[in-house]
Amino acid sequence: MANTRNIAFIGAGNMPQSIIGGMVRGGYPASAIYASNPSRPKLDTLAQKHGIHTSQDNLEVVKQADVIVLSVKPQLMADVCAHLREHVSDLADKLVITIAAGIRIEKYHQYLGDNVRIVRVMPNTPSLVGEGVSGLAADPQVTQDDKDFVTEVFDYVGKTIWVKDEDGIDVLGAVAGSGPAYFFEFMAGLQQVAEELGFSSEDARAMVQQTALGAAQMASQSDLSLVELRKQVTSKGGSTAKGIEAYQAAGLDDISARAVKAAVARNQEMAKLF
């Protein structure tokens, strides 16, 4: 573990619950983790399951923290930050991490002050099962030590990728953030055809799901490129080659490019809402 800092999550919804769970399982001391939320039930679960500190008062946990993780819905962010700015005099001494979608770092400086160190993180939904990808972007005031700390926190729920500017967050969001939906769409198509060709829904789903998992595991254990891996399982003149030919004829790569570019454009549009 790089270093332990007191870390406070503002908002105790699904994503922070997963991050906290990953941190505690990974050996981060529960006594250094705080969470606040307006209603009690999620806090009680977190306290019982992981032994962290909880409060219904954001200011109470922020007072104890070296690091604040803003984990409320984007539409609540301005109000939550205004409240912190009004009541917390030493915000500039703390590192602020935000996981809210769509709000740029520049906005947080407007909400919290120019001298506050901000890291923006875009985790994706598989973080909920410890297999996430998080894109991270920092403002120039953030130190290397801060970056190492944030990397460690999000490594607890998957892999971390630092982007060089926030446009990279829009792209990462369109690939990794939206990606699970693309894979589910593709997998649902394979399941459907397996059913049409005679398999029960249960068996069709199992074969698709396990194949996706197996392919992802093979890719993560191999140094070969994805194209090479594909070639390795495609014998010339065989049935897989015929299947791949059909995908290529339909322009699968072009479809992926169009999907990602459409999602990037939407991310850019949504950033303008804040």
Ligand X SMILES: NC(=O)c1ccc[n+]([C@@H]2O[C@H](COP(=O)([O-])OP(=O)(O)OC[C@H]3O[C@@H](n4cnc5c(N)ncnc54)[C@H](OP(=O)(O)O)[C@@H]3O)[C@@H](O)[C@H]2O)c1
Residues at the site binding ligand X, with contacts judged by CB under 6 A? 10-16, 36-39, 42, 58, 71-74, 76, 80, 99-101, 123, 125
Backbone angles phi, psi at 180, to 5 degrees: -55, -35
CB of 234 to ligand X, least distance (A): 34
**Bridge partners of residue 35, in order along the sequence:** 9, 54
Q: Known binding site for NADPH: residues?
A: 58
Closer to ligand X by CB, 10 or 33: give it.
Answer: 10
- DSSP assignment of 50-74, as one string? H--EEES-HHHHHHH-SEEEE-S-G
Secondary element (H or E) of residue 155? helix 144-155
Indicate the annotated binding residues for NADP(+). Answer: 10-15
Closest separation in Å from C-beta 16 to ligand X: 6
CB-based contact 189:246 (threshold 8 Å): no
Q: Provide the residue type at 165 as one letter.
A: D
140 CB-near residues (< 8 Å, 6+ apart): none
In angstroms, give the least distance from the CB of 140 to ligand X: 23
Let me know the angle formed at the C-alpha of 136 by 214 and 51, rounded to the nearest 5 degrees.
Answer: 80
The annotated binding site is made up of 10-15, 58
CA distance 204 to 188: 10
| Cβ proximity to ligand X, 123 vs 146, nearer residue | 123
Give the number of other CB atoms < 10 A from CB of residue 246: 9
Q: Which is nearer to ligand X, 128 or 208 (CB)?
A: 128
- Complex with ligand X: residue 99 or 116, whichever CB lies closer: 99
Return the number of the residue (8 or 204) whose C-beta is nearest ligand X: 8
- The minimum distance between CB 44 and ligand X, in angstroms, equals 12
Asked whether 55 and 43 are in contact (CB, 8 A), the reply is yes
Q: What is the Cα–Cα distance from 160 to 150, expressed in whole angstroms?
A: 9
Residue nearest to ligand X (CB): 13
17, exposed or middle or buried, with CB in 10 Å at 0-12, 13-18, 19+? Answer: buried
Q: Which is nearer to ligand X, 26 or 74 (CB)?
A: 74
